[in-house]
Amino acid sequence: MTTSRAFRPAAILAALLILFVGLAVRTWTGGAFAKYAGVALYASLIYALVIATAPRLLPWRAAAIALAFCWAIEFGQLTTIPASLAKQSKLARLVLGTTFNIPDLFWYAVGIAPLAYVDRMLRARASKRS
């Protein structure tokens, strides 16, 4: 197994853990903390899914893809499509959101940066060993 492929199981496990924490934050907390922690965790989840899908991506590229995806979802909220889908499906509401919020653009980066950093450090350590 190549070094980069070894990151796929870890990324899948991280995605599941992030999903659990995100749902727990949403369930057991409220207010601004729940809002912005949820946004950051959503972005962390997207980063983990990008790495799980394409484990050979360099961390900065995976971060750029995850951030672009999150920003596209956020800017999509300027249309009526996410809000109308959210009325039909709770899953659509969780994935697409409903209301554009400028601070979310920052919080997406906050959620991605730590994972990209840890990913970079783990890859550097793995390449030193091989």
What average pLDDT does range 22-39 have in this prediction? 94
Tens digit of each residue's pLDDT (9 = 90 or more) over 51-64: 999 999 999 999 99
pTM above 0.85, yes or no: yes
d(CA 104, CA 78): 13
What average pLDDT does range 21-47 have in this prediction? 95
CA quadruple 22, 23, 24, 29: dihedral positive or negative? positive
Q: Provide the percentage of residues in the chain whose pLDDT is more than 90.
A: 85
Cα radius of gyration rounded to whole Å, the chain? 16
pLDDT at residue 4 in the model? 66
Task: Locate 24 and state its tokens.
Answer: 């727990």
pLDDT-based confidence at residue 3 (cuts at 50, 70, 90): low
* Helices vs strands, H then E, count in the chain: 6, 0
pLDDT at 104 over 90: yes
d(CA 121, CA 116): 9
Tell the burial category of 8 from Cβ atoms under 10 Å away from its Cβ (0-12, 13-18, 19+).
Answer: middle
pLDDT at 1 over 50: no
pLDDT at residue 68 in the model? 98
Write the CA distances from 50 to 27, 31, 78, 112, integer angstroms. Answer: 26, 29, 25, 11
pLDDT-based confidence at residue 47 (cuts at 50, 70, 90): very high
What average pLDDT does range 7-15 have in this prediction? 92
pLDDT at 22 over 70: yes
**What is the full DSSP assignment across 60-85?**
HHHHHHHHHHHHHHHHHTTSSHHHHH
Write the CA distances from 53 to 7, 26, 49, 73, 128, integer angstroms. Answer: 10, 26, 6, 19, 24
